[in-house]
């Protein structure tokens, strides 16, 4: 089962990429993004794709330009996540046959992103919209829209967000920060997966 959880590995290095990805996949998280403001992010993505590209959806976060999309595609990434809505980035992502999850917060941004071809929406920062805001937004979004919430979400409030119609979650510092051991990441991932499974049961 592929869970609707995206691990955001901001700050990861190429040397850590394979062992951390292995720990996440073993724990049950098979969607991984490396933000492009990490050290040598394309190298990290390439390492993960070479090792686990058949087992996981791997790509980049903090993708801001068409050139960024091209670079990620060049190393085999299949997922593009942005902190913002940019129609050109979405178009380039879909032209490269990758999945597009732009960052949005307002109804106007949500509908513009969907019109531009986004595969789903990344509500960011989700604590600004809040659970009541998501409930209100869902009432007008097209049926079937994939909504991921990022920022201020974690095991303690998965159930509340799911009840408000969130489809999935992006998890950053709650799962990885620079300096954490692979064992620490594995333990955090296991806790997150257990909480998610309980929330969706």
109 part of the active site: no
* Region class of 134: left (phi > 0), else alpha (psi between -120 and 50), else beta: alpha
Strands 79-81 and 120-123: unpaired
Catalytic residue among 122, 135, 156, 191: 122
135 classed as catalytic: no
Give the whole-angstrom CA distance, residue 166 versus residue 81.
17
C-beta separation of 131 from 164 below 8 A: yes
Alpha carbon separation from 20 to 15, 31, 75, 112 (Å, rounded):
9, 12, 18, 35
What is d(CA 125, CA 185) in angstroms, rounded to the nearest whole number? 23
Query: Which residue in 16, 33, 135, 198 is the catalytic one?
Result: 33
Q: Which residues are catalytic?
A: 33, 122
């Amino acid at each position: 089962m592929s869970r609707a959880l995206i691990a955001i590995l901001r700050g990861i290095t190429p040397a850590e990429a394979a062992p951390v990805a292995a720990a996440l996949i073993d724990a049950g998280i098979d969607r991984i993004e490396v933000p492009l403001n990490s050290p040598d992010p394309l190298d990290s993505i390439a390492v993960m794709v070479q090792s686990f590209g058949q087992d996981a959806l791997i790509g980049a976060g903090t993708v801001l330009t068409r050139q960024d999309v091209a670079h990620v595609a060049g190393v085999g990434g299949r997922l593009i996540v942005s902190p913002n809505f940019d129609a050109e980035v979405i178009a380039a992502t879909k032209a490269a046959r990758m999945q597009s999850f732009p960052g949005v917060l307002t109804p106007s941004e949500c509908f513009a992103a969907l019109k531009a071809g986004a595969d789903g929406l990344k509500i960011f920062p989700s604590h600004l919209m809040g659970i009541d805001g998501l409930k209100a937004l869902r009432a007008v979004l097209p049926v079937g829209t994939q909504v991921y919430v990022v920022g201020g979400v974690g095991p303690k409030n998965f159930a509340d967000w799911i009840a408000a119609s969130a489809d999935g979650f992006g998890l950053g510092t709650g799962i990885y920060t620079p300096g954490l051991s692979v064992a620490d990441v594995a333990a955090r991932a296991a806790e997150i997966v257990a909480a998610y499974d309980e929330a969706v049961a």
